[in-house]
Amino acid sequence: MLTSTLRGFKAARTLAVAATVLTLVGCDFLDPTNVNNPSTTADDLAAAENPTAALLPGLRAAFAVAYNPVEPEVVSDNYSIHGTGLVKQLDSPRDVTPDEIGNRAYGSKQTLRSLADFVLNDIAPGDATATPDDLQEARYYLGMAFLLLGERFAAAPVAVDGTPVASADLVRTAITELSAALTAGSGFETPIRAALARAYRLDGNASDAETQANAVLAADPAFAQGQEYDPATITNGPYAFLVILPRLDFLDPKYTAREAPIYVAKAEEMLLIKAEIEFSRGNYAGGREFIAQAIETAQTRSTSNFDDGDARLNEDLSERPHDASITIRSDASSPFRSGLVLSRPGMVSTPTVAATSLDADSVRALDAATQTEDILHAFHLARQEMMLLEGRRMTDLGIRLPMERDEIETNANINEGDLGTVAIVPAYIPAQDLMDLFDPASPYDASGVLVTTQVTINVDMNRILAQQRISPFGTLP
């Protein structure tokens, strides 16, 4: 097992996990010293030829594992757990305890943070071969580890036996690390700026979020950064087993292969950040235009043809909507809409990067003075649809998960009830699993015959977010 004076979460365990992750990237890392020794130590790595560069493939692998969005997607109103093997509590945010949070959801982020810290503070200072671009990439991963922890968890310790650091402070640390990465080299500039725009938004800093979003769009108006996966080692986590809400059916499956990339950042998000900033300034006409531009950008993205044999079953094995003649409304007061459900089984065409059910001209036609709630509704729907399966929706809903049980039980400075041991769920989130329900639960009879073509979602969370004027920039005007 690797041993080191690694600073951070469960040092010995993190290095053991890091060793496992690093074995997935090939023999160049496994034997950077050209010595076949199963007890590789930090000193061995430091003495290796080009040790910082040798560790970067492991960091990339750790980031791929950490970016997995399964639990946040299920906790949100995007997906249900039916038939997935995930614990039922994940469908009901207030019922989620540390017992439902495991290494994939939590520990992988801490592993990424600790490994990046190890590279930057234990290896790179003694490595004369470390290039500015090597250091920039490593610091990007460190910043992203803090950002993922801040986005997804109520709090988390960032030192051995440390006290929990609140979500907002984790995001601010991410900003510090990403800002340092920005000036450390030149090869990763646009991804870092995209991450900074995302972090500044969460921090409520409109000015700096706008600056970074503008820089990303100036560098590449069609920017899209995908994290690749490997079907033989680290697979795309949500590829095979999530059950989507019917009004999002036209987006599924977004990932049709185990190696399909999960998008970390893209131009659509930058445009929507700019839209939200304009809303915070009371400029609904300007924000409306950026939503329309995001829609037009999404319409240029690629699609994939997929022969889908998904039975679309509920937990009781009744059939969920799977016929294109079915219309969906987002709640009981909304109009029924067609085109949201695809006919299955059969060949379907679905987006691989981003898509939306919104129409740019229709958004532009909304009155900026009298239809502000509808504009905000379009904004939240656009974020939900365009960034599906990228881990954003739970964060946008204001939900933060507790840390995993192992963290609490092995850290003497964390007790039950402390910050980070209980999920944060805003009062406007419905009780139990109501976000995932629709009526009728099955539009088919027991023989599989379609008996109604109208399905109503129980609650429209985009309408609630719009009515509540929810935004990291403060309550919107």
Neighbour tally for 27: CB within 10 Å: 8
- CA-CA distance, 4 to 13, in Å (whole number)? 11
19, two tokens: 């060793």
pLDDT value at position 42?
60
pLDDT value at position 315?
84
pLDDT value at position 311?
86
b/e burial code for range 266-285 (CB count within 10 A of at least 16 → b): bbbbbbbbbbbbbbbeebbe
Is residue 238 within 8 A of residue 389, CB to CB? The reply is: yes
Amino acid code (one letter) for 396:
D
pLDDT value at position 440?
98
Spatial CA neighbour of 393 closest among 153, 78, 183, 110: 78
Q: What is the pTM of this model?
A: 0.92
Is residue 45 within 8 A of residue 51, CB to CB? The reply is: yes
Residue 457 DSSP SS3: strand
Q: How many residues does the chain have?
A: 477
Phi-psi group of 317: left, alpha or beta (phi > 0 → left; psi -120 to 50 → alpha; rest → beta) = left
Q: What is the pLDDT along the chain (477 residues), one digit of tens a residue?
A: 233 323 333 433 444 444 444 443 333 322 233 333 444 456 655 566 889 999 999 999 999 999 999 999 999 999 988 777 788 899 999 999 999 999 999 999 999 999 999 999 999 999 999 999 999 999 999 999 999 999 999 999 999 899 999 999 999 999 999 999 999 999 999 999 999 999 999 999 999 999 999 999 999 999 999 999 988 889 898 887 678 999 999 999 999 999 999 999 999 999 999 999 999 999 999 999 999 999 999 999 999 999 999 889 988 899 999 999 999 999 999 999 999 999 999 999 999 999 999 999 999 999 999 999 999 999 999 999 999 999 999 999 999 999 999 999 999 999 999 999 999 999 999 987 789 999 999 999 999 999 999 999 999 999 999 999 999 999 999
Spatial CA neighbour of 113 closest among 121, 43, 212: 121
pLDDT value at position 85?
78
- CA-CA distance, 198 to 207, in Å (whole number)? 12
